[in-house]
Amino acid sequence: MSATGASPIFDRGRVPGDSLPAGEWSSVAEDTSRYVGEDAAGNAYWAVRSADDAVCIVYVPVEESNRSLLCGGPGLTGTTPDDRIMQFASSPTALTRSETELVGGTLLERAEK
């Protein structure tokens, strides 16, 4: 497990492609964001730290109308407005790799619809 306690993605240096998409992200430290990748449906994911140093997942669906920000710590699990369950792969408690899609080697994701 990473020193951050949630995901090894924070162990690598930040690159220009790690920037969050334009929008209102006042509750996170944008300079900590790391681009995770896209799932098979084309939805995009970032890992980022909150202003109070919690670990968060930013979810931006293809249509961008139901963006989500989920914050917590190791074992963080959350459901997006369009019923996708997400969790860091490095500390899963609710999802398993056999029932999910692994996004960017960092997140487990499963659509509930």
Report how far apart, in Å, the C-alpha atoms of 40 and of each of 28, 45, 65, 74 are.
26, 12, 18, 25
What pLDDT was estimated at residue 102?
92
pLDDT at 3: 38
Contacts of 61 (CB under 8 A, 6+ apart): 43, 67, 80, 82
Q: Please report the pLDDT score of residue 35 as a whole number.
A: 96
Tokens representing 57?
A: 């997942």
- What are the tokens at 54? 């919690």
pLDDT under 50 in the chain at which residues?
A: 1-5
